[in-house]
Amino acid sequence: MMSTAIAQTQTSENSARIERAYEAFSRGDVKTVFETLAPDIVWHVPGRSPLSGDHRGHAAVRAFFERFMQLSDGTFRLQVDNILARGSQVVVLCTASARRGTRSWSSAEVHVWTVENGKATAFREYQGDQSEEDEFWGS
């Protein structure tokens, strides 16, 4: 069984690692973001939009990033509202927003990360309103 001190250290390190990735993303520093991700990461986006599905590995996640930035003409933004962590799990409460033409969209989201051996191995996104998000990205 892991000692409490070791578990707390792991939790703090994992939380800080994910927070740095979001900060890097907000600066457009994709290289630093990918340094946080395991080469075989599974990135899950629910729903029925062109962005939905399981994106596996760096190449697929990079293509996913490029697609939503293309669809939003580079306007996609994430605001981190809170980060909660325990052991290998990091939960990020955030607000996503973007524009597509004359339409704007904003939604509360929950991002659940699994971090193992210093790398994010899984990402799962939960939208505040799945139907609205599917419609925004699909139209």
pTM, two decimal places: 0.91
Q: How many domains does the structure of the chain reveal?
A: 1
Q: What is the pLDDT of residue 12?
A: 86
pLDDT in tens, 66-93: 999 999 999 999 999 999 999 999 999 9
For 21-55, the pLDDT digits (tens) are 999 999 999 999 999 999 999 999 999 999 999 99
CATH number, domain of 27, equals: 3.10.450.50
Higher pLDDT, 4 or 85: 85
Q: Are 119 and 37 in contact (CB under 8 A)?
A: yes
Q: Where are the alpha helices (DSSP H) in the chain?
A: 4-27, 30-36, 57-71, 130-138
CB 50 within 8 A of CB 64: no
Domain of 71 in residue numbering reads as 4-130+132-136
